[in-house]
Amino acid sequence: MYQIYPLSWADSNRDGFGDLPGITAHLDHLAGRPDSLGVDAIWLSPIYRSPMVDFGYDISDHCSVDPRFGTLADADLLFGEAHGRGLRVLLDYVPNHTSDQHPWFAQSRSSRRNRYRDWYVWADPGPDGGPPNNWLSAFERTGPAWTYDQATGQWYLHSFTSAQPDLNWRNPDARAAMHDVLRFWLRRGVDGFRIDVPHRLGKHPELADNPADVAALRRCSQLDERRHNSMDHPDGHDMMRRIRAVVDEFPGRVLVGEVGVHHPQRRLAYHGSDGDELHLIFDFGFWRNPWRADAFRAAGARLARWPDAHRWPTHALSNHDIRRHATRFARAAEDGPDTLARVRVAAILLLTLPGTTFLYYGEEIGMTDLAVPAAHVHDPDGRDPCRSPMRWRSGPGAGFTEGQPWLPTGSEGPTVAGQDRDPGSVLNLYRRLVRLRAGDERLRLGGYRLVDSDPDVYAFLRLASVGAAARQGAAVTGRAGDPAGRLLVLANFADQPRQTGLDRDAESLPGQGVLLAGSGQRPAGVRIRLTDLVLCADEAMVIEI
Ligand code: GLC
């Protein structure tokens, strides 16, 4: 799946903001042509009408398209064009909150007796006249999760900015209205949704304080065994099941959840006890991996082990909320000439590890974060640098816009045009890997087994034999003596060349194999001797053995 941040992908009308016609015009980049990236699906961050306080995650009309992005007709056209290329389309669904400019909230705040009052979470002041409890907003600078409404003398809850009041999912009318939002888009043909912070729906029914020792932890990522009362309440699972039931009214659709719960069991619980909640859940641990073989080894083990047929792992290294991995993993400039070497290794891992891969626009050319001058900062949580516009070609506007871009495009850096015909480019490595994966059941569904190797070299096998079992829920461990036709993936995390140190006997590895894709200079198709193989610094390979 390929995540598009619509504000930043392609601007068709020179207003400096990306838009839906821009996306439609650039779909060839993703699918439908021999030189397309070859992804199966796109996920669009929010496209709905929004005051853009949180850049679309504050929605003021769920069943419209923000004029910056175009019209509903533009959306229909985009869905049709995408489907015509075999691309599925996922939208972002933001159930936890709306914009404070949403007509529902205008009604709700107008009077305590308004019939929309209970659609949001209102509470009387605490004993000291302050906020009703000690819950905090998730954004570092915004303080308590409550704002006082002078007119009606109560506080409203907002887990994020004060412009994003939380909906009350215990209210049946609010729930039904939000279910109808799903149906509205499903009827227009969307193939599913990425659900924004689903773990936030379930809150303590009495709005009890968070335990004192966790009250200071704003971010769900800091949760472990200890529970917040402000999120991940068990009642949230019923809310998720109902969302899933609506989506199941439409065959073949998918739900991906951004479950920001660090504790693995509690995160995975959002698949539902019987696979009746989310199909897919982002693996927060994966994108936090530091650039070390042992970290990726541990992540690989986690991806390869899922307990039943209802769960399926995912992995991503970048998105619109975190620093791009090309920036996080960059070596100090003096360390080496090829700053994109690690991006290439990461691409090989992303597209050969078990599970569904999520790519973030621009990573396929190695885009890095772009610093935004203080005067031009937009985002309340400091995330502008990873949202800089797609770099299609060099020159002002980078092919993203002919107007004034809403965020800097950078005057230099990788471009699609610059990499298009260069066989050694990051773009062409991604293209090769996506296609390899699409045509190879071992990579999509097959088993996984770690291979003993040098500590700095991450080595694993993808196996043919346990794909079917995996689909039925067996752990993907494989067995020694797996039939022929295995893939060996090797990644050297050291900044020095390394002998692989493969334990060839334990895995009955042959003396040689054929390179299917590599991050370095060696061309695909060459024979690779495993007996004395030395990987260059930051080099990875996929070898058929
Ligand atoms: C999710 C989104 C993020 C947004 C927040 C509030 O974490 O990914 O961009 O700011 O939810 O909706």
**Secondary structure of residue 302 in the 3-state scheme:** helix
**Atom 5 of ligand 1 has which residue's CA nearest to it?**
57
Here the contacts of 15-19 (C-beta below 8 Å, separation 24 or greater) are 15/68, 15/401, 15/403, 16/401, 16/403, 16/404, 16/405, 16/406, 17/68, 17/69, 17/406, 18/69, 18/389, 18/390, 18/400, 18/401, 19/68, 19/69, 19/70, 19/74
54 lines ligand 1 (CB under 6 A): yes
Q: What average pLDDT does range 95-120 have in this prediction?
A: 98
pLDDT score of 483 more than 60: no
407 lines ligand 1 (CB under 6 A): no
Cα 352 to its chain centre, rounded Å, is: 17
Q: Which domains does the chain have, with CATH numbers?
A: 2-98+172-434 (3.20.20.80), 99-166 (3.90.400.10), 446-544 (2.60.40.1180)
pLDDT score of 6 more than 90: yes
124: alpha, beta or left, given left = phi > 0 and alpha = psi -120 to 50? beta
Q: How confident is the model at residue 283 (pLDDT cuts 50, 70, 90)?
A: confident
CB 385 within 8 A of CB 376: no
**Atom 4 of ligand 1 has which residue's CA nearest to it?**
57
Distance separating alpha carbons of residues 347 and 37, to the nearest angstrom:
13
**Atom 12 of ligand 1 has which residue's CA nearest to it?**
57
Which among 157, 263, 242 is positioned nearest to 195, based on CA atoms?
A: 242
Ligand 1 centroid–CA 57 distance in Å is 6
Select from 43, 44, 57 the residue to mutate for testing ligand 1; criterion: most ligand atoms less than 8 Å from CB.
Answer: 57
pLDDT score of 525 more than 70: yes
Distance separating alpha carbons of residues 54 and 264, to the nearest angstrom:
28
Instruction: Give Cβ neighbours of residue 181 (< 8 Å, ≥ 6 apart).
Output: 62, 63, 93
Ligand 1 centroid–CA 197 distance in Å is 7
**Atom 2 of ligand 1 has which residue's CA nearest to it?**
196
**Atom 1 of ligand 1 has which residue's CA nearest to it?**
196
363 lines ligand 1 (CB under 6 A): no
For the chain, how many residues are written? 545
CB 474 within 8 A of CB 503: no
57 lines ligand 1 (CB under 6 A): yes
Give the position, in ligand 1's atom list, of the atom nearest the Cα of 159. 6
Ligand 1 centroid–CA 160 distance in Å is 8
What pairs with residue 89 in β-bridges? 42
CB 304 within 8 A of CB 354: yes
Distance separating alpha carbons of residues 15 and 117, to the nearest angstrom:
38
Ligand 1 centroid–CA 149 distance in Å is 24
pLDDT in tens, 361-409: 999 999 999 999 998 899 988 999 999 999 999 999 999 999 999 999 9
**Secondary structure of residue 469 in the 3-state scheme:** helix
CA gyration radius, the chain: 24
93 lines ligand 1 (CB under 6 A): no
Distance separating alpha carbons of residues 420 and 428, to the nearest angstrom:
7
Q: How confident is the model at residue 334 (pLDDT cuts 50, 70, 90)?
A: low
Of the candidate ranges 283-287, 300-304, 415-419, the one whose mean pLDDT is the lowest: 283-287
Distance separating alpha carbons of residues 325 and 319, to the nearest angstrom:
9
Ligand 1 centroid–CA 364 distance in Å is 23
Which residues form the catalytic set?
196, 249
